[in-house]
């Protein structure tokens, strides 16, 4: 079974409003530190927070392959 993490990020806003952008990311990397590093490498300007461990069912539902990540719609 693939193990992963539910991670949320907050990035600086763009445009006139400048409102921060929040994203939810499902990361299929077993090691929590490695998962956070992968997100930070992809989104270097983001504040990163691990929300919880992802269930194998959630990873399967979104068809996330081991070692990859997907941004979830909010």
Q: Where do the structural domains in the chain lie, given as residue ranges? A: 4-16+30-67
Half-sphere exposure of 61 (CA within 13 A, CB side): 8
Q: Once rounded to an integer, what is the mean pLDDT over residues 15-41?
A: 93
Q: Once rounded to an integer, what is the mean pLDDT over residues 43-57?
A: 96
Rounded to the nearest 10°, the torsion over CA 7, 20, 41, 3 is 10
Amino acid 37: pLDDT: 98
Q: Once rounded to an integer, what is the mean pLDDT over residues 16-44?
A: 94
Amino acid 74: pLDDT: 61
pTM listed for this prediction: 0.87
Q: Once rounded to an integer, what is the mean pLDDT over residues 21-30?
A: 96
């Amino acid at each position: 079974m693939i193990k992963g993490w539910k991670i949320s990020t907050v990035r600086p806003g763009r445009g006139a409003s400048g409102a921060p952008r929040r994203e939810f990311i499902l990361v299929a990397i077993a090691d929590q530190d490695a998962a956070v590093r992968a997100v930070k490498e992809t989104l270097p300007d983001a504040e990163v927070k691990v929300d919880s461990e992802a269930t194998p069912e959630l990873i399967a539902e979104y068809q996330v392959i081991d070692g990859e990540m997907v941004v979830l719609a909010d």
